[in-house]
Amino acid sequence: MPPIVWQRTDYGKIMRGDLLGVGKSVVVALLGIAVFIAAGMGIALLVTTIMKALGVDPAPLF
């Protein structure tokens, strides 16, 4: 029988893979937050425009 050969664990490779995965997750989360903020600002601008068109000044409501 041939001898059992154990492969060495490359902890550097494991760390690089984990950090790359975390980096991708952070980028996706930041992009998602940016999209939600942009959507909220767009909706606020649309509502303000509609209120101005109807003759209602939204400034005193704040």
Structural domain includes residue 62: no
Task: For residues 17 and 4, give the distance between their C-alpha atoms in angstroms, rounded to a whole number.
Answer: 28
DSSP helix/strand/coil, 24: helix
Structural domain includes residue 46: yes
Structural domain includes residue 26: yes
Task: For residues 38 and 34, give the distance between their C-alpha atoms in angstroms, rounded to a whole number.
Answer: 6
Give percent of the chain with pLDDT exceeding 70. Answer: 100
Give the model's pLDDT for residue 8: 87
- Please tell me the total count of domains within the chain: 1
Q: Model pTM? A: 0.64
Structural domain includes residue 47: yes
At residue 37 the predicted structure's pLDDT band, cuts being 50, 70 and 90, is very high
What is the domain extent for residue 45? 21-54
